[in-house]
């Protein structure tokens, strides 16, 4: 058996999405900025995709900017707002467990002279809105807090944070890449000003995403060229990608309630079986509101990379953290932020379920985990068997 349990890293493209894109690739291939019939046909498909994306997110079509993915959407939101602010002194608030697309962008702003506060999280991996409130300053331009953490699956109280940020007259951005398909997303209900999404996390194609920019938010360019996307993001529009993103969002909206229940049952089945059969295991983020498909497990006394390889050889794909951090020598910044020791952080695996997973696959994964953990613990030096 081979089974894929790394859906937070990426997902397979849904057949319906592939079919929606196929026609654009083969028949509606014009440049959406061209005035001839081929170009206008592509333009119509682009705007249809924009309307559908806006509908699913609870936005207006003119508030959607298509990007190359979640990383670009995060960069555009943060740099586009902060650099465009006229104040000489600027300050940004984010959290200690953000995706590198946010943390590294904030680090770049620090190099440009912007002050950045990284709010800590509790032992469950949740940001306290009051901690955000205490971090605000007169020169604060933007608050950026992710909606769902990519490693733990913890759901942040974005609506509460957005309320207090709005009362202070500050712009609010949220990285929603891991939230779509796993929890309800309505940008109006959340109260955010900017919200990033990515297609390949929701059974769409790689290389396309979108940024919701609430009407009236002063977003400046971070790239230069043509006047595409209403002067917010230059470059020839990726029409097939936008169509694929919209098709994936349509499927998501159609199946969210039923699929959420199914994934929650599978995730609970997995966790309960692992905790019952394998000693010295903890669920990282336990007790926090978590999205339905993600579990992060610490197998004490086991090297996480060795366990990942053992599972891969047995036919199971899981993750030791964020895919973009693969190969990093340091333990996960998310896991150390919630208080894990470096050793326990290195002993943790993320398992993220998706549409293709079944009860049979979950049970087989539990068997493989039980055997691999027992074998690796027996081989570990005595001082590491804790």
- Residues belonging to the active site: 324
Secondary structure (H, E, C), the chain:
CCEECECCCCCCCCHHHHHHHHHHHHCCCCCCCCCCHHHHHHHHHHHHHHHHHHHHHCCCHHHEEEECCHHHHHHHHHHHHHCCCCCCCCEEEEECCCCHHHHHHHHHHHHCCCEEEEECCCCCCCCCHHHHHHHCCCCEEEEECCCECCCCCEECCHHHHHHHHHHCCCEEEEECCCCCCCCCCCHHHHCCCEEEEEHHHCCCCCCCEEEEECCCCCCCCCCCCCCHHHHCCCCCCCHHHHHHHHHHHHHHHHHHHHHHHHHHHHHHHHHHHHHHHCCCEEEECCCCCECCCEEEEEECCCCHHHHHHHHHHHCEECECCCHHHCCCCCCCHHHHHCCCCHHHHHCEEEEECCCCCCHHHHHHHHHHHHHHHHHHHHHCCHHHCC
Write down all domains in the chain, each with its CATH number in brackets. Answer: 3-9+256-384 (3.90.1150.10), 15-251 (3.40.640.10)
pLDDT tens per residue, the chain (386 residues)?
899 999 999 999 999 999 999 999 999 998 888 889 888 999 999 999 999 999 999 999 999 999 999 999 999 999 999 999 999 999 999 999 999 999 999 999 999 999 999 999 999 999 999 999 999 999 999 999 999 999 999 999 999 999 999 999 999 999 999 999 899 899 999 999 999 999 999 999 999 999 999 999 999 998 888 888 888 998 989 999 999 999 999 999 999 999 999 999 999 999 999 999 999 999 999 999 999 999 999 999 999 999 999 999 999 999 986 444 444 568 999 999 999 999 999 999 999 999 999 999 999 999 999 999 999 999 876 555 44
């Amino acid at each position: 058996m081979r089974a894929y349990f790394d859906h937070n890293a990426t997902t397979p493209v849904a057949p319906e999405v592939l079919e929606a894109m196929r026609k654009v690739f083969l028949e509606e291939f014009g440049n959406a900025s061209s005035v001839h019939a081929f170009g206008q046909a592509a333009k119509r498909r682009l705007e249809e995709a924009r309307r559908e994306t806006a509908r699913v997110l609870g936005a207006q079509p003119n508030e959607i900017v298509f990007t190359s993915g979640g990383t670009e959407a995060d960069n555009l939101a943060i740099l586009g707002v902060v650099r465009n602010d006229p104040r000489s002194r600027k300050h940004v608030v984010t959290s200690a467990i953000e995706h590198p697309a946010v943390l590294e962008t904030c680090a770049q702003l620090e190099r440009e002279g912007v002050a950045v506060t990284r709010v800590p999280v509790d032992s469950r991996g949740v940001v306290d809105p009051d901690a955000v409130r205490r971090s605000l300053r007169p020169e604060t331009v933007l608050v950026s807090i992710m909606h769902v953490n990519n490693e733990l699956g913890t759901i942040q109280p974005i609506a509460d944070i957005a309320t207090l940020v709005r009362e202070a007259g500050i712009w609010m951005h949220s990285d929603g890449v891991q939230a779509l398909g796993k929890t309800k997303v309505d940008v109006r209900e959340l109260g955010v000003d900017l919200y990033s999404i990515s297609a390949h996390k929701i059974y769409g194609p790689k290389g396309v995403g979108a940024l919701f920019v609430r009407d009236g938010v002063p977003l400046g360019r971070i790239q230069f060229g043509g006047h595409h996307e209403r002067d917010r993001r230059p470059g020839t529009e990726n029409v097939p990608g936008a169509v694929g993103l919209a098709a994936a969002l349509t499927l998501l909206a159609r199946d969210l309630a039923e699929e959420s229940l199914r994934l929650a049952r599978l995730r609970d089945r997995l966790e309960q079986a692992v905790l019952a059969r394998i000693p010295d295991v903890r669920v990282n983020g336990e007790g926090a509101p978590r999205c339905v498909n993600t579990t992060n497990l610490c197998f004490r006394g086991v090297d996480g990379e060795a366990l990942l390889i053992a599972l891969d050889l047995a036919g199971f794909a899981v993750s030791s953290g964020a895919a973009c951090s693969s190969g990093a020598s340091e333990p996960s910044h998310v896991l150390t932020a919630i208080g894990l020791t470096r050793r326990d952080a290195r002993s943790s695996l993320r398992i993220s379920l998706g549409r293709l997973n079944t009860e049979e696959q979950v049970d087989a994964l539990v068997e493989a985990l039980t055997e691999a953990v027992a074998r690796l613990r027996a081989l570990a030096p005595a001082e590491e068997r804790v």
